[in-house]
Amino acid sequence: MIDVNDLIALVRNYNPRTNADLIAAAYDYGRKMHAGQKRYSGESYFSHPVAVAAILTEQRLDDATIVTALLHDTIEDTKSTYAEISRQFGEEIAELVDGVTKLTNLQLSSSETKQSENFRKLFIAMSRDLRVILVKLADRLHNMRTIKSLPEEKQVRKARETMDIFAPLAGRMGMQWMREELEDLSFRVLNAEARSSIIRRFITLQRETGDVINKITADIRTELEKAQVQAEVFGRAKKPYSIWRKMQEKQLAFSRLSDIYGFRIICQSEADCYRVLGAIHQRWRAVPGRFKDYISQPKSNGYRSIHTTVSGRDGKRVEVQIRTRQMHEVAESGVAAHWSYRDGERARNPFAVDPAKWIATLTERFDSGEDHDEFLENVKLDMYSDQVFCFTPKGDVIQLPKGATPIDFAYSIHTRIGNSTVGAKVDGIRVPLWTRLKNGQSVEIVTAAGQRPQATWIDIVVTGRAKSAIRRSLREEDRERFVKLGQELARVAFEHIGRKATDKAMRIAAKTLALPDESEVFARLGSAELTASEVIQAIYPELATQPAEVVDANRPVIGLTADQSYRRANCCQAVPGERIVGITYRGQGVVVHAIDCPALAEFEQQPNRWIDLRWHSGAHAPVHTVSLNMTIANDAGVLGRICSLIGQQKANISDLTFVDRKPDFYRLIVEVDLRDAEHLHMVLTALEAESDVAQVERYRDLNRKP
């Protein structure tokens, strides 16, 4: 374990003005609080907070963060309290220690829904002071470095949690070195065999080809000397997990992987970066599509660098990163560079991002209260995405993940623009909305008043912001449609009992049914979550009747003799609730017609064949097929929405036939299984309220035989 003097010396290396007494006091306090506690390995527990503090000194962080590292487990694991830490070390440090404690208490490796809830809390904690997550990341890094002492089950759980949450979070914050180490340490636990295999292949490759890294490094230095540019060159092989992930993504064997080496060139000025780029591209052929200029278009976490991949010695692909010393410091520390010290002063790195602004851009889109699974999906989308940079017609730069579409572009400008998008132009040419955007393109969004997002957009967009806004709009649109439908259903139902569905009546229904307001009553009526009879009973319980007996689906009509069979006439398809009459056929039983069926005219001179029938008054099963003649818009997703809408009314589609297909509409006959006339009315009303349904009516065909 590092002693207190060595720890203070590590801090003094970058901050000679450090408050050594404060660090010594925190060291002494933490050691006393953790006295007698042991880690799984048998070491003194306090060796862990000291190691976490040492990791943070590598990032040259301020005294408050170092002291927080020494005390980060005291509130959780000892008798120490917030008040005591505040009294001895100040309010700032107490707040930081409390923040780390709350993060530690989040059970991030539980079920998916719980995980997403805690991810939201994690971002809220970060938004208060980003140093909390810096301490937590260092805490997790040391735990992963010493994970072998844990039980196997706990190793796997911690490694999975690290791979899913903490490693990508470190990457999102710009701390790429920490992300790579966390991934590799997790990979060692989760797939030790694959990791060992890659390392063995690396050793074999080095034995066959010699020290490729030193050779290529020497080649680059030679080119820099020719260009008369002073710069440092570093080379390395990529981490085992990075190689394994590339093998999985591209489905390549190790022998076919080419860009497994990376080189970094640290220049003295931004102008030198571009001179180096020119020298590299003159000497080696650039690989198309693998050039990214993050100097002219920095990442949101402050990262700046030029990335290019070239075919180097013996045709091997090598990735080259070119940046200045200040850019390199931000690339190593990410957002943490904001707190870095040099020679006792806060480092004034012009490329360091203000953490408050950074966390605001990261969390602003997640304030809308969408469900937790959507939140987790959106966070992961933003964390793992690569980037493209496109321009508005005015020249403003819009940063988007790789694979983004014009719809993503529209929503990144404003939700209102995204919702009203009807088309897009890329570099002046009209393109489909599903077009994947490329770096440097100019995008113009065409909007129209009254346009609403389409359900199919969910599968087109890639940004969390766009997905969230589209889902929110669709929910609101469905609600408006259900409210209108519910109002119509309520009006008809109340007319049947001689009452009116007034606002006052519906407010009483809402109160009785424990719903927020009358709008919610209408919405649930329209979505078939409530029935009209339930609403009426809530207001007029005296009108409630005993539950109707369930009618035998094989004998739903009254008036037949025991030996008479029946079937419904195909021409009129009578349903319970409609007046009916039976016509007898020799050897064929009785055919049931609606009383107003035109086909009955041919039997007027045969009164002896008529039988007076009526439907049972009980509850009928939805087995009575009715044909609906519909005209709908010929557009993506419309038919699916129509089928879903019918299903929402608890009706089943038994058959569907297209009658006519035109460029802008379809006409079709839909066979729907219903309970009764009221059920039919509900389905027709729901379909009439759908904007993509131009016409719907009951289909009666006199040419169809009984």
Mean pLDDT along residues 536-557: 69
Does residue 568 lie in a domain region? Answer: yes
Does residue 366 lie in a domain region? Answer: no
What gap in Å lies between CA 208 and CA 386, rounded to an integer?
34
Active site residues: 76-77
Does residue 365 lie in a domain region? Answer: no
CA angle at 258 for the pair 254 and 261, rounded to the nearest 5°: 100
Query: What residue type is assigned to position 248 of the chain?
Result: Q
Q: Which of 543, 567, 591 is the last residue of a domain?
A: 543
Does residue 72 lie in a domain region? Answer: yes
Closest residue by Cα to residue 609 from 593, 630, 631, 627 = 593
What gap in Å lies between CA 691 and CA 288, rounded to an integer?
47
Chain-centroid distance of CA 200 in Å reads 38
Q: Which CATH number covers residue 12?
A: 1.10.3210.10
Higher pLDDT: 86 or 441? It is 86
Q: Using the predicted structure, report yes or no on whether residue 69 has a pLDDT greater than 50.
A: yes
Does residue 429 lie in a domain region? Answer: yes
The pLDDT value recorded for residue 248 is 66
Q: Using the predicted structure, report yes or no on whether residue 144 has a pLDDT greater than 90.
A: yes
DSSP letters along 166-210, please? IHHHHHHTT-HHHHHHHHHHHHHHH-HHHHHHHHHHHHHHHHHH-
Does residue 368 lie in a domain region? Answer: no
Q: Which of 190, 212, 239 is the last residue of a domain?
A: 190
Question: Could you tell me the residue range of the domain that residue 677 belongs to?
Answer: 624-698
**Which residue reads 């608890």 in tokens?**
650
Q: Which CATH number covers residue 275?
A: 3.30.460.10
Q: Using the predicted structure, report yes or no on whether residue 669 has a pLDDT greater than 90.
A: yes
The pLDDT value recorded for residue 534 is 83
Q: Per this entry, what is the length of the chain?
A: 706
Cα four-point dihedral sign 601, 604, 610, 615: positive
Higher pLDDT: 607 or 128? It is 607
**Which residue reads 């359900």 in tokens?**
455
- Helical pair 532-539 and 518-526, crossing angle rounded to 10 deg: 150
- pLDDT cut 70: percent of the chain above it: 83
Contacts of 476 (CB under 8 A, 6+ apart): none
Tens-place pLDDT, residues 551-584: 777 788 888 888 888 889 988 899 988 888 899 8
Q: Verify that 159 and 35 share a domain, yes or no.
A: yes
Q: Verify that 205 and 178 share a domain, yes or no.
A: no
Q: Verify that 31 and 177 share a domain, yes or no.
A: yes
What the block records as the tokens of 83 is: 């008040």
**Which residue reads 């297209």 in tokens?**
658
Contacts of 120 (CB under 8 A, 6+ apart): 366, 372, 375
Mean pLDDT along residues 508-533: 82
What gap in Å lies between CA 387 and CA 399, rounded to an integer?
7
Specify the DSSP element, H or E, that contains 657: strand 652-661
What gap in Å lies between CA 445 and CA 218, rounded to an integer?
49
Between the two ends of the chain, the Cα-to-Cα distance in Å is 93
Pairing, β 624-633 against β 693-698: antiparallel
Identify the three-state secondary structure at position 680. helix
Query: Which residues does residue 633 pair with via DSSP β-bridges, in sequence order?
Result: 665
Specify the DSSP element, H or E, that contains 285: strand 285-286
Q: Verify that 515 and 496 share a domain, yes or no.
A: yes
Q: Using the predicted structure, report yes or no on whether residue 372 has a pLDDT greater than 50.
A: no
Q: Verify that 485 and 434 share a domain, yes or no.
A: no
Q: Verify that 112 and 127 share a domain, yes or no.
A: yes
Q: Verify that 101 and 50 share a domain, yes or no.
A: yes
Q: Verify that 214 and 258 share a domain, yes or no.
A: yes
What the block records as the tokens of 283 is: 């000497």
Identify the three-state secondary structure at position 161. helix
Let me know: does 436 contact 405? Beta carbons within 8 Å: yes
**Which residue reads 């066979």 in tokens?**
671
The pLDDT value recorded for residue 111 is 45
Query: What residue type is assigned to position 186 of the chain?
Result: S
Query: Which residues does residue 693 pair with via DSSP β-bridges, in sequence order?
Result: 632
> Phi first, then psi: what are they for 289, rounded to 5°?
80, 5
Does residue 202 lie in a domain region? Answer: yes
Q: Is the pTM of this model over 0.95?
A: no
Q: Which of 388-392, 683-687, 694-698 has the weakest average pLDDT?
A: 388-392
Number of domains present in the structure of the chain = 6
SS3 content of the chain, % helix, strand, coil (to 5): 50, 20, 30
Q: Verify that 183 and 202 share a domain, yes or no.
A: no
Label residue 286 by pLDDT band (50, 70, 90): confident
**Which residue reads 């006519």 in tokens?**
660
Mean pLDDT along residues 111-131: 58
Q: Which of 189-193, 252-256, 562-566 has the weakest average pLDDT?
A: 252-256
Query: What residue type is assigned to position 514 of the chain?
Result: A
Q: Using the predicted structure, report yes or no on whether residue 257 has a pLDDT greater than 60.
A: no
What gap in Å lies between CA 474 and CA 472, rounded to an integer?
6
Closest residue by Cα to residue 304 from 312, 296, 313, 315 = 296
For the chain, the maximum distance between any two Cα atoms, rounded to a whole number of angstroms, is 116
Contacts of 129 (CB under 8 A, 6+ apart): 95, 96, 99
Q: Which of 297, 317, 346 is the last residue of a domain?
A: 346
Q: Which CATH number covers residue 640?
A: 3.30.70.260
Specify the DSSP element, H or E, that contains 583: strand 580-585
Tens-place pLDDT, residues 203-248: 777 676 667 788 888 889 999 999 899 999 988 877 888 777 766 6
Contacts of 471 (CB under 8 A, 6+ apart): 370, 374, 458
What gap in Å lies between CA 543 and CA 534, rounded to an integer?
11
Does residue 20 lie in a domain region? Answer: yes
Q: Verify that 444 and 487 share a domain, yes or no.
A: no
Q: Using the predicted structure, report yes or no on whether residue 317 has a pLDDT greater than 90.
A: no
Mean pLDDT along residues 304-311: 88
DSSP letters along 607-634, please? GGGEEEEEE-SSBPPS-EEEEEEEEEE-
Label residue 362 by pLDDT band (50, 70, 90): low
Q: Verify that 225 and 341 share a domain, yes or no.
A: yes
Query: What distances in angstroms separate CA 573 from CA 137, 323, 563, 600, one per listed residue?
Result: 69, 78, 23, 13
What gap in Å lies between CA 49 and CA 69, rounded to an integer?
6
3-state SS record for 562-576: CCCCEEECCCCCCCC
User: How many CB atoms neighbour CB 306 within 10 A?
Assistant: 23
What gap in Å lies between CA 504 and CA 495, rounded to an integer?
16
> Phi first, then psi: what are they for 267, rounded to 5°?
-100, 170
What gap in Å lies between CA 420 and CA 545, rounded to an integer?
49
The pLDDT value recorded for residue 385 is 46
Q: Verify that 294 and 240 share a domain, yes or no.
A: yes
Average pLDDT, the chain: 81
